[in-house]
Every structure is written in C-alpha cells, then in structure tokens.
C-alpha cells in the first residue's frame, strides 16, 4: 500500500506561495481518529449505462447516498472510524441504507428506524455532465425526524470529532437535535466540523436558512462551503468571501471557501491561501463536496500542513466526479496517492 505521508517535495502538493504563515494549530489532528457524523443516509439510483438520460433508461444501478453517509464512507476509506447519527424509514429502503453502512464499515448503532409516513431520502442522478439531471425526493424525509432523545442516547465522550451536514438543520425536530449535538460535542472537547450543504428546496426561505446556518457556524471549528453557500449566508454572493473571512477570525478556526473550477480559498486567523483543482474528465457533477471533506479531514488527522490537506481533498473530489456513484466512488488512501503520483498536478492559482 502507498504510504500515507505528505510528499512535501512533490510539486503536486506544493502550496501557493501565499501559504507561508497560514498555518494554525489545527483543531483536528492525529489524536482524532473516531468521528461521529450527523445527517442523512439515502438511496441513490443511477441510470445505466452512463451517459443515458433518466427518461430513456430501462435499468439503473443503486448505491448508498446522502451527504453525511458519503462523508462517513470517505472517512472510513482513509482508515478512520465513523459512526452515523440519523433516522431512516422503517422499510426496505431504510434497511438497505443500514446494510450499506455496514458494508462500508460505518457504525450504525445510532441510526434509528422511524415508522409512519416518514420516507427515506431518494435521489435519481444521471452520470452525465451535459444537461445533467439530479432528482431528489425529500418529502416527509425520515432523517428530519431525528430527536433530542436520539442525541441524548449518544456517548459523546466515546468519539474524537463531530461533523454535521447542514441539511439536518432545515426542519424540526432535526434542527434542534443538531444544535444539541453540536453543543454536546463542544462540551466534550471535540472539534466540531460543519459542511454547509445548503439545499434550498428543504427550507421555507433563504432568510431562515441564513439565520440558522449563521448560528450553527458560530459553534464550529472547521467550516466548509462553496461560494454560493457563503453568499446566501451573507445576503449576496458578492458578500460571501468577506463573510467567510469574518468567520475565520476566531482563534483556531479554519474556513474553506470553495469556488468550483476556480479552486478554493482556505482562511485562518493567520492568513489565507488559494489552491487549484485537479482536472479530470468528469462523468457527473455530484459527490465532489463529500469526497473533498473526507480527504481534507483525513489529511488533517495525519498532521499534514493545512494547504496539503486541502489539496488532498481536492484530488479526492476529482476522482469521485470521474466515476459512477458517490459512496462507491470514494477513493481509498492508496487510490488517492496513486492518482496524485500520476496526475500532472493542480491548476495554479495566482
């Protein structure tokens, strides 16, 4: 297996010159090996063969999906431990999700089936870039049924780090449960990691979402989102970067402001740096954010310099968009290292 060490002499992981002076004492390091991840697990359907439109498909492949579940898979691919905190529907789809979590080595003891009219998240995702369609069914979503009782039953002291996907904040009782989990994680001395993961269709309004996300961000040590997500929190996309910089002023906090093909800006109280992306022939646009989070956090848990961890996440994102599925496309550390050894390197950002 390829050694999981930062090849600091390799230009493919070399940081932008502005990375000098950026480093902070990361809230996440090699002492954090066991993650509790809060958020949804779902079923993804992919029209088969790749490239076909959903309306023309006669067969589909199926896999585990949902942003939190995908992040948990990404973490386990890098040798870390992950448990998922969520609810699933008490039916065949929910049981599929639980079985898939076990398949990927994710602890599902805090995944609670819920009956009644609640239904599991379901996504139909095309493996194509041109005229791409992703259709997501979230009516009566089971994961929004997560309760304070579910959170209270978790022994937070048995975990090293806590990560939450922002979608869990979109509805009650999940919103209150998520805030309670963040507070309990902080009380236990755990780093709190927040993937903004804004899905407008889940919220009553952008104003409500902006208020809730801003309150959640104040509780977190590492915040990762894209320019649209920071923009909506700030009241306009043109204000997003300034808002991200403001969030990063708290000592020890890391904010990653992603800009798609234009790379990312990583911001700390000590400064900021820009990093590029790894160009690939993309098969689909989905799954990149979850893969980035897994690779980025894995790099931090190896005590890598911050800009190297960001580039590791960027490489993971590149791999996932070039493959079918999200969870099954998450690369292992060995696959990611091989990719970086053979790739020309990230785009240079001035």
- The confidence score (pLDDT) of residue 22 equals 60
- The confidence score (pLDDT) of residue 3 equals 39
- Residues 112-145 pLDDT 10s: 999 999 999 999 999 999 999 999 999 899 999 9
Is there a contact between 177 and 221 (Cβ–Cβ < 8 Å)? no
Give the confidence band of 20 by pLDDT, cuts at 50, 70, 90: very low
Is there a contact between 120 and 94 (Cβ–Cβ < 8 Å)? yes
Q: Is the pLDDT of residue 317 over 80?
A: yes
Between these two residues, 206 and 43, which has the higher pLDDT value?
A: 43
- The confidence score (pLDDT) of residue 11 equals 38
Pairwise CA distance, residues 194 & 79, whole Å: 21
Pairwise CA distance, residues 203 & 70, whole Å: 22
Sheet holding 121-125, edge to edge: 59-65, 42-48, 121-125, 134-137
Q: Is the pLDDT of residue 16 over 50?
A: no
Which residues have C-beta within 8 Å of that of residue 301, sequence separation ≥ 6? 28, 29, 30, 32, 33, 78, 80
- The confidence score (pLDDT) of residue 251 equals 85
| Mean pLDDT to the nearest integer, 321-326 | 94
Structure tokens at 258: 């992603």
DSSP conformation letters of 190-243: --EEEE----GGGSS-HHHHHHHHHHHHTT-SEEEEEHHHHHHHHTSGGGHHHH
Q: Is the pLDDT of residue 1 over 60?
A: no
- The confidence score (pLDDT) of residue 249 equals 92
Could you give the domains of the chain?
Answer: 11-342 (3.40.1190.20)
Asked if the bond preceding 305 is cis, omega within 30° of 0, the reply is: no
Q: Calculate the average pLDDT of the chain.
A: 92
- Residues 173-187 pLDDT 10s: 999 999 999 999 999
| Mean pLDDT to the nearest integer, 15-42 | 79
Q: Name the DSSP letter for residue 24.
A: -
């Amino acid at each position: 297996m390829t050694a999981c060490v930062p090849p600091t002499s390799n230009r493919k992981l070399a940081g932008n010159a502005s990375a000098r002076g950026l480093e902070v004492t990361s809230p996440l390091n090699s002492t954090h090996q066991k993650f509790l991840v809060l958020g949804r697990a779902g079923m993804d359907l992919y029209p088969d063969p790749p490239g076909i439109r959903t309306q023309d498909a006669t067969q589909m492949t199926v896999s585990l999906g949902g942003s939190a579940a995908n992040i948990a898979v990404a973490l386990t691919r890098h040798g870390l431990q992950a448990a998922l905190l969520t609810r699933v529907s008490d039916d065949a789809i929910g049981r599929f999700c639980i079985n898939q979590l076990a398949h990927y080595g994710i602890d599902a003891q805090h995944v609670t089936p819920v009956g009644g009219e609640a239904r599991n998240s379901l996504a139909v995702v095309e493996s194509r870039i041109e005229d791409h369609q992703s259709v997501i069914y979230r009516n009566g979503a089971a994961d929004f049924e997560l309760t304070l009782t579910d959170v209270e039953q978790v022994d937070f002291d048995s975990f090293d780090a806590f990560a939450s996907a922002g979608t869990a904040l979109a509805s009650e009782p999940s919103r209150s449960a998520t805030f309670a989990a963040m507070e309990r994680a902080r009380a236990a001395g755990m780093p709190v990691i927040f993937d903004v993961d804004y899905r407008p269709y889940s919220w009553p309004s952008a104003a409500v979402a902006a208020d809730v996300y801003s309150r959640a961000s104040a509780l977190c040590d590492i915040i990762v989102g894209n320019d649209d997500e920071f923009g909506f929190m700030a009241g306009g996309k043109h204000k997003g970067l300034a808002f991200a910089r403001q969030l990063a002023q708290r000592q020890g906090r890391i904010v990653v402001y992603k800009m798609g093909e234009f790379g990312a800006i990583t911001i700390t109280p000590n400064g900021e740096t820009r990093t590029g992306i790894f160009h690939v022939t993309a098969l689909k646009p989905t799954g990149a954010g979850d893969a980035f989070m897994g690779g980025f956090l894995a790099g931090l848990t190896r005590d890598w310099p911050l800009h190297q961890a960001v580039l590791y996440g960027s490489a993971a994102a590149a791999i996932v968009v070039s493959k079918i599925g999200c969870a099954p496309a998450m690369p292992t550390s060995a696959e990611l290292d091989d990719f970086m050894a053979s790739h020309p390197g990230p785009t240079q950002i001035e």
